[in-house]
Every structure is written in structure tokens, then in C-alpha cells.
Amino acid sequence: MNNKKNESIKDLLIKFFKAHPKEDMSHGPVVDWVEAKYMRLYHKKPRDTWRSIRNLHEVGFLIKVKKGIYRYDPEAVKERELEDFTPEQKETILKRDGYKCVVCGRGLKEGVELQVDHIKPKYLGGKSTVENGQTLCAQHNFIKKTLKQTETGKKMFIRLYELAKSEDNEELKRFCTDVLETYEKYNINGHIVWKR
């Protein structure tokens, strides 16, 4: 088996649909082609060809035209990539973050609703990848949607700076100053004014 190309039934399906972009494909020819190809590679019939097709639809690769007819549209896939995380990606991200909001640490245990958010937003070209995903509680996701990631951070540090000032906490003040000066250095969110 080691010298095989190691193409899964899914790889073969993707290959087939990519060779027929924007065509409505009924299951007959698809399954015939893919299974014959699989037979030549592995000398056995694949299991779950149908399930693999359905799965490619679930993750947004294929458009279901009607029962038994699927279509691959490269442009739709591109848009889909920008759109949202697949259920599988969401689960991976939630699991990685320990089913807790990365800002406040509240999670399932506290009965808090969790959402999966794009760290770099979609409108800035942020992709729907696991790396670009983070777990937020509904409250922090709302705040972030309103304020955006870096704006939220800057406002929080300005508040912390003010507090440190009023408490004469020099160390905390220095820490906040360093962070806020970094915002200035990179010209981030200049519209949020920090008064020293």
C-alpha cells in the first residue's frame, strides 16, 4: 500500500468535480468514474462514495442542485471560504480553546453561550481557517463585532492605564504605556485617543 498514491475517495471526487466546473452532475457518472478509478488504485470497491459526496456538500465544496445532482462552482467555493467555519472547524476551535471564551474564560460550565469568531475579520480578508478562529462568549463576540479586535484592546488598555494612574500603580502604568505606545508605533486605531 505504501507505493500507492494514497488518494482517498474524497480526493478522487474533488478531482472529478474540478474537471467539470459549473456542470450539474448526476450521481451515475460521478460514482462510476470515481469507483473505477478507486478500483484501479486499490483493487477494491470504495465504501461510502455517497457519504463522501454528501460530506463535500456539507463543507461547502459542492452545491446540491437537487436530490442526486451536485455542482461544483469555483467562485461559490471561494466565497464560501470567506464565509463561515464549517461545523467540523467550529468543533476543532472550541475544543482547542477548551470550550471557554478566550477573553473572560467563561464557558459551558458557567452555562455561557459560546461562538466561534474570526480573529482577522472576513472583510479584511480573514479566512475561515482553524488558525483564524477563536472562541468567544456571546457577550464578548458582541463587543468585538461592535468595536473590532484591536479597538477593543486599545480601549481596555486605556481604561487600565487610567485606573493604574489613579492608584499610583507605577508598574501597571508602565505596562499599559508600553502597550499603548506600541499602538502608536504601528499607527493602529489612531481615532481612539489616549491621553497620558
Q: What is the binding site for Zn ion (CB under 5 A)?
A: 101, 103-104, 137, 140
Query: Based on CB atoms, which residue is closest to Zn ion, 143 or 172?
Result: 143
Query: Based on CB atoms, which residue is closest to Zn ion, 12 or 136?
Result: 136
Query: Cβ 86 to Zn ion, closest distance in Å?
Result: 23
Give the SS3 label for residue 24: strand
**DSSP label at residue 100:** B
Query: Cβ 153 to Zn ion, closest distance in Å?
Result: 14
Query: Based on CB atoms, which residue is closest to Zn ion, 56 or 137?
Result: 137
Query: Cβ 104 to Zn ion, closest distance in Å?
Result: 3
Residue 38: what residue type? Y
What phi and psi, each to the nearest 5 degrees, are found at residue 149? -55, -55
Of residues 144, 132, 44, the one with CA closest to residue 82: 132
Query: Based on CB atoms, which residue is closest to Zn ion, 65 or 104?
Result: 104
Query: Cβ 151 to Zn ion, closest distance in Å?
Result: 16
Contacts of 151 (CB under 8 A, 6+ apart): 189, 192
What phi and psi, each to the nearest 5 degrees, are found at residue 181? -70, -30
Cell 488558525 sits on residue: 131
